[in-house]
DNA sequence: TAGATTGTTAATCGATTAACAATC
DNA sequence: TAGATTGTTAATCGATTAACAATC
């Protein structure tokens, strides 16, 4: 039941469970079985039960899972029950979109500061000069750095973030960053996603989803 | 050597190969071995060779792969050698960012029209009313629909897109869309990505990447 | 109690890695 | 030719699915 040895495949499914359970909960449903979850998620009931059992015994024989309770457990497992302090680097198209995205704030992800190449003010938001990032991190405890810069400077920014004691990087630039052990990287490679779509559009015989 | 039976794992790696090869090419490097590719991508040489051999014999014993040639082959396999016509639905934060993103245009992805709840004009771009999407698709051949709407209307939009004969949907709303067979869905679930990051930030012992 | 459904072990399936003959 | 490196088969490893005893 230790957290050790849990595979990436399992972990990547946790947010999906969380999302479906939230939508079930919004409908006012109290309990759900792995079979029912299987039907709406498209995963097998067996896999759902085994995934959850990596973290604990949240169900009850003959009953299934209590929706609210399971959401609570998943929140703790994923860590969305806590709040996180963020710095955003790169206030271009994507950076701007992420900054505006309200859902993340509601979940407890708080933007502490925004940096770009040059300092400027945009609708009451003071965007700071990137040169001041290092100092800012020295004086403020920040958990997550979002990199939404051109790929040419992404690694450089990552280095500053690591040096500043950040715990995780959410990377939107199309490069694979190298960081010291202990810092977590999660990348959103939009180019790769679009290419995957493109591949399948040209391969009508491929029905592996 | 048929395209049948190629697993999703393999296909998801193709864009990565493409990206690394482009960067090697930019450095003016002519040839590359699977061993060298292994070192920069972090994948095993064996896996790289086996992945590529699903699509053809692009290498040469004792030499390796010609960088430009392999890029050309990958372009054809992925389908980035062609151009694609896009409609964007939802011109909010993310929709706006995607519309502005220059790289995609350079690669041959062309925005034919943009739709939102109400029609309006923004910096010379005429955003059309969503009610006109169906008609637009009847009169224009469109390949890809990008959904960047609130989740409440995403499935409804997907239905209109399918009805309109679209081939692929790039979905940014946090739902799993259901479409008729033959239409390809690729979703970018930002919430799931952020949750995965969050999970690992709270699990320092987990070193499975 | 009888029916339902979990938690968990065992069986199957698929993906990755290792090895090496072929050959440039 | 000798060295390097591919393409491909076989071995290993890991993830998914099936099955079922436990039990609510």
- Tens of pLDDT along B95-114? 999 999 999 999 999 999 99
Q: How far apart are the first and last CA of chain A?
A: 30
User: Nearest CA to the C1' of D22 belongs to which residue?
Assistant: A61
Per-residue pLDDT of chain A (209 residues; tens, 9 = 90+): 345 579 999 999 999 999 999 999 999 999 999 999 999 999 999 999 999 999 999 999 999 999 999 999 999 999 999 999 999 999 999 999 999 999 999 999 999 999 999 999 999 999 999 999 999 999 999 999 999 999 999 999 999 999 999 999 999 999 999 999 899 999 999 999 999 999 999 985 544 33
| Long-range CB contact pairs, A148-151, < 8 A, 24+ | A148/A88, A148/A89, A148/A90, A148/A91, A148/A92, A148/A94, A148/A95, A148/A98, A148/A172, A148/A173, A149/A89, A149/A90, A149/A92, A149/A95, A149/A173, A150/A90, A151/A175
**Which residues in chain A are closer than 8 Å to B106, comparing Cβ atoms?**
none
C-alpha to C-alpha distance for B83 and B80, rounded to whole angstroms = 7
In chain B, positions 23-82, which contact chain A (CB-CB < 8 Å)?
A: 41-42, 77-80, 82
Residue A4 has what pLDDT? 57
Using the CB atoms, write b or e for B56-71: b if 16+ within 10 Å: eebbeeeebbbbeebb
Taking an 8 Å cut-off on Cβ atoms, the answer to whether B94 and A97 are in contact is yes
**Cβ of residue B84 lies below 7 Å from strand D:** no
Protein residue with the closest CA to the C1' atom of nucleotide C9: A50
A5 Cβ contacts chain D strand, under 7 Å:
no
Q: How far apart are CA B124 and CA B111, in angstroms?
A: 14
Report phi then psi at A109, rounded to 5.
-100, 115
* pLDDT at site B80: 98
Give the model confidence (pLDDT) of B38-83 as tens digits: 999 999 999 999 999 999 999 999 999 999 999 999 999 999 999 9
Q: Are B18 and B78 contacting, i.e. CB atoms less than 8 angstroms apart?
A: yes
Is-contact B11 A198, C-beta < 8 A? no
Contact yes or no for A173/A147 (Cβ under 8 A): yes
Q: Residue B142 pLDDT > 50, yes or no?
A: yes
Q: Is the CB of A60 under 7 A from strand D?
A: yes
Tokens of A207: 């029905």
Q: Which helix (H) or strand (E) holds B184?
A: strand B184-187
Min CA distance, B58 vs chain A (Å)? Answer: 19
Tell me which DSSP letter residue A31 carries. E
Q: Which of B59, B107, B123 is nearest to A190 (CA)?
A: B107
Question: A177: closest CA among A192, A188, A191?
Answer: A188
Question: B199 and A16: CB-CB below 8 Å?
Answer: no
Name B105's Cβ contacts closer than 8 Å, sequence gap at least 6: B111
pLDDT score, position B1: 35
- A104: nearest Cα among B170, B152, B96, B195: B195
How much is the average pLDDT of B118-123?
Answer: 96
> Does residue A44 reach within 7 angstroms of strand D, measured from its CB?
yes
B197 to chain A, closest Cα gap in Å: 6
Q: In angstroms, how far is the first alpha carbon of chain B from the final one?
A: 30
CA–C1' gap, A75 and C5, in angstroms: 24
Q: What is the pLDDT of residue A204?
A: 58
Q: Say if the Cβ atoms of B197 and A184 lie within 8 Å.
A: yes
A 165-184 residues with CB below 8 A of B? 167-170, 174, 176, 182, 184
| A97, A143, A176: residue with CB nearest B97 | A97
- Looking at residue A206, its pLDDT comes to 46
**Nearest CA-CA distance, residue B111 and chain A, Å:** 14
pTM value is 0.96
Residue nearest to nucleotide C16 (CA to C1'): B47
Q: Is the CB of A35 under 7 A from strand C?
A: yes
User: Inter-chain contact A208–B79, Cβ cutoff 8 Å?
Assistant: no
Q: Measure, in angstroms, how far nucleotide D23 C1' is from residue A37 CA.
A: 21
Give the closest of A4, A7, A15 to B196, CB-based.
A15
- Rounded, the Å distance between the CA of B47 and C1' of C17 is 8
> How confident is the model at residue A92, as a pLDDT?
97
């Amino acid at each position: 039941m230790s957290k050790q040895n849990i595979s990436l495949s399992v972990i990547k499914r946790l947010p999906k469970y969380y999302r479906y359970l939230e939508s079930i909960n919004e409908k006012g449903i109290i309990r759900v079985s792995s079979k029912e979850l299987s039907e709406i998620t498209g995963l097998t009931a067996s896999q759902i039960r085994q995934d959850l059992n990596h973290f604990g015994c949240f169900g009850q024989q003959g009953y299934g899972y209590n929706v609210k309770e399971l959401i609570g457990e998943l929140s703790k497992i994923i860590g969305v029950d806590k709040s996180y302090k963020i710095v955003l680097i790169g206030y271009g198209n994507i950076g701007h979109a992420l900054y505006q995205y309200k859902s993340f704030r509601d979940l407890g992800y708080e933007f502490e500061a925004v940096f770009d190449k040059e300092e400027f003010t945009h609708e009451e938001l003071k965007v700071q000069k990137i040169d001041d990032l290092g100092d800012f991190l020295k004086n403020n405890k920040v958990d997550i750095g979002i990199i939404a810069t051109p790929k040419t400077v992404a690694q450089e920014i990552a280095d500053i973030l690591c040096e500043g004691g950040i715990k995780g990087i959410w990377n939107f630039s199309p490069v694979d960053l190298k960081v010291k052990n202990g810092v977590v990287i999660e990348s959103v490679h939009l180019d790769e996603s679009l290419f995957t779509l493109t591949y399948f559009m040209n391969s009508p015989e491929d029905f592996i989803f």
